[in-house]
Amino acid sequence: MQLNESVRFYNWFSENDWFRKFIHSRKIPCDRSKTITFFSVFGEKFPILINKSHVKVFFTGENLHRDEFGFSYRNYSDYLQNNYFDLSLGFDCIENDSYLRFPLWVLPFVDPEDTSPSAIKKLCEKLSNHRVDNIRAKKFCSLVSGHDPNGLRREIYDSLEKIGEISCGGRFLNNTNELKEIFNNDKLRYLERFQFNICPENSNAPGYVTEKLMEAVSSGAIPVYWGSDNNPEPEFLNRDAVIFWNKGGDNTGNIDLIRSLNQNPELFKDFYSLPRLKPEAPEYLSEMLYDLETKLRKLVSTKA
């Protein structure tokens, strides 16, 4: 089985081989006569219409309900529910046999070559449980972003900089080169040094959760978050361990809480020690991966 020939990608984001590795590790049978092609939104739509692959899958981690950064992602919104594809994957909650909710954040945090229940349980335990021995060794807050499309990152920054110094390791509001020079652009290792991480989404839509929130959760930094109607992954995340920002509204309670946590080590330790995930998180994630395997396996075996 030559996977380079049997699993293909069009309009794809660069250097992401997650689905190919997942198909191989789950031993989903495919070859040159039964190809699986994954399509995304980073290019023209016409290759999708003329493609003759055995199984056609559409995947997007982008918000298709609005245009962003010069890309007309809304042009692809009809691809979530139509007859162009055998299976569509995205963040929306859609009741359709040919659709599966599979949000973007899964890809950078789940090893596609080790998705056994034991591996998923171990991963969730790592994401969920953090301890801090020396709170004062941690810096106050980080913000790592290349842009600020809706002004929210600046809003949060301006509200919190009165409490403590905010280290901005990305292009937006950059005031430190440590992310690149010390951590070789390893964002997770960089975020581990901070008490808080400002990590709102670029835009809001129900279920739209990217890697930003999960990076904070994984690193142990307390997320200061906005997105997904401020109800992200309700079956997976413990919302009590996240500080939800009220975009354009009253955030007096959030600011007071962050100030108190920053000034009171014992209070901070109690909040920091809250489990980031719900107890049922491993089962939730394992079921998502099982559903993906089941749908792909069925399509490969039944498509003419």
Query: In the chain, what are the domain boundaries?
Result: 3-112+287-302, 130-272
Q: Which residues neighbour 41 within 8 Å (Cβ) at sequence distance 6 or greater?
A: 11, 60, 62, 64, 71, 73, 76
Q: Per-residue pLDDT averaged across 236-244, rounded?
A: 98
**Residue range 127-179, pLDDT digits in tens:** 999 877 767 779 999 999 999 989 999 999 999 999 999 999 999 999 999 99
Instruction: Extract the tokens encoding 282.
Output: 């491993």
Q: What is the mean pLDDT of the chain?
A: 90
Residue 218 has pLDDT above 50, yes or no: yes
Strand 194-198 and strand 139-143: the pairing is parallel
DSSP class of residue 136 equals G
Superfamily covering domain 130-272: Glycosyl transferase family 10, C-terminal domain (3.40.50.11660)
In degrees rounded to 5, what are phi and psi of residue 10? -130, 145
% the chain with pLDDT above 70? 92
Q: What is the reported pLDDT for 134?
A: 67
